[in-house]
Copies of this chain bind each other. A is one copy, B any other.
Amino acid sequence: MITSWREVEAGVTFPEGFAAAGVRCGLKTTGEDFALIVSESEAAVAGLFTTNKVQGACVRYSRRVVRGGAAQAVVINAGNANTCNGEQGDTDNRTMADWVSRHLRIPPDRVLTASTGVIGHILPMTNIRQGVDLAVNALDSGLNADTMAARAIMTTDTYPKYRAAEADADSWVAPIRIGGMCKGAGMIAPNMATMLAFITTDARIPPPLLQEALRRACDASFNRVTVDGDTSTNDMCVLIASGMGHGEISRAGDAFEDFVVALTRLCTSLAKELARDGEGATKLVEVRVNGAVSASAAHSLARTIAESPLVKTALFGNDPNWGRVLMAAGRAMVPFDPEQATLHVGEVLVFQAGTGVAFDRDTAHDYLTNKEVVLTLDANMGECSDTVWTCDYSYDYIKINAEYHT
């Protein structure tokens, strides 16, 4: 059981053994656009990658590195996805990794790469070279390095997203630190393939267990965030364990389960930031479904509601339009009976026994003007629950995506 959880204002370098940097090399019009995370020594690595059949060069490459189980650096560029660039794309991606490898004197197959940005533009390697040089020189630990790195991976995000915590559990020999950063905003949808996320920990944990922990933590966090149902070609979640702390997870069991809980908590905190900062979002929306006949039915109901453009535009309008929520639930293609269901907007019961109930519209409307709102649908048909996080659809979603030109 987790016995203490101390969140700190920090990111990927909070766990022992990590340094990071975020610099500008001119890939984006303004701001930092090149990040580096480095572990002092070779670290265990786990990773999850996009399920999209169109994949960036970094995804093909980093998947192989993760398969080796060990890594020591992650190099990330924004502003250019290096996707659909043919062999040139693969060559440029390898070159970016090689430059980091030579600079830091670590084997090239221990360097992960990640790219985000426009598809189909050749990576400007002069800028990348400059990025590597600047980032290696800027490597540091502490809040400044954490925020600069988190800023450098942003695309249409409006603020950097990073989190860190020190946890302890009665099953552990020592506290464990976990840090992380992510970027998202658009192209966010469940099924891994959701965003870039980089998580670090100072626990010592073998790669197979690390992979299992990441899979379970992502499934309960990043894979439950949806902005627009679209899924990127480049997205990945990577977890690096330096083993430089005193915590150790050597096998399945209580200590491992507690590690999964702690990792899930950190990932959930990051994931909610992705929805909160969804393109054009004015609020974070939590869609809770209870009483579904199965876990997958619960997830389908929550996801279908969370992805419905009509629900999301109603939420932007602060309108407790329960008809749209019921309509979305009704098309989720899973067992659902409106006669048995209830729907709450925040604490306000708005629908029951197949029909709307009298409720105070001003109260519900005012509630929906909050920055965080919860919709709770009880199907009352079974025992299964799920939660999906999303945001509303505003004018700015259209603006950002219509004006983000190739």
**Which A residues form the contact surface with B (CB < 8 A)?**
51-55, 81, 83-86, 89, 118-120, 186-187, 189, 193, 228-233, 307-310, 313-314, 316-317, 319-324, 326-331, 336-338, 351, 353-356, 393-395, 397-399, 401-406
Contacts and interface: CB of A to CB of B under 8 A. Distances in A.
A394 B86 CA distance: 33
A406 to B, nearest CB: 5
B402 A323 contact: no
A118 B320 CA distance: 12
7 contacts: A86-B354, A187-B327, A313-B398, A313-B402, A319-B402, A320-B406, A394-B398
Nearest to A189: B331
B53 A337 contact: yes
B85 A314 contact: no
Nearest to A355: B86
A356 B82 CA distance: 12
A399 B395 contact: yes
Contacts of A330: 52-55, 231, 233
Given A328-B230, A355-B85, A398 B395 contact: yes
Contact of A309 (B229, B319, B323): B229
Contacts of A186: 310
Contacts of A402: 313-314, 316-317, 319, 393-394
A323 B398 contact: no
Contacts of A86: 353-355
Contact of A54 (B313, B319, B326, B397): B326
* Stoichiometry (number of copies): 2
Contacts of A327: 52, 54, 119, 187, 230-233
A304 B395 CA distance: 23
A238 B324 CA distance: 24
A323 B118 contact: yes
A218 to B, nearest CB: 17
A230 B309 contact: yes
Nearest to A337: B53
A229 B313 CA distance: 14
A53 B120 contact: no
Given A84-B354, A319-B406, 13 more contacts: A51-B331, A53-B338, A85-B355, A86-B353, A119-B324, A193-B331, A229-B309, A230-B308, A230-B324, A230-B328, A323-B406, A395-B399, A398-B398
A189 B323 CA distance: 17
Contact of A395 (B81, B395, B406): B395
A323 B81 contact: yes
Given A53-B336, A193-B331, A355-B84, A401 B120 contact: no
B398 A314 contact: no
A358 B86 CA distance: 14
A337 B53 CA distance: 7
Closest 7 CB pairs of A and B: A119-B323, A54-B330, A313-B401, A317-B402, A120-B356, A52-B330, A53-B330
Q: Max chain B CB contacts within 10 Å: which of A86, A317, A330?
A: A330
A92 to B, nearest CB: 13
A230 B193 contact: no
Q: Considering residues A86, A309, A322, A338, which has the most beta carbons from chain B within 10 angstroms of its beta carbon?
A: A309
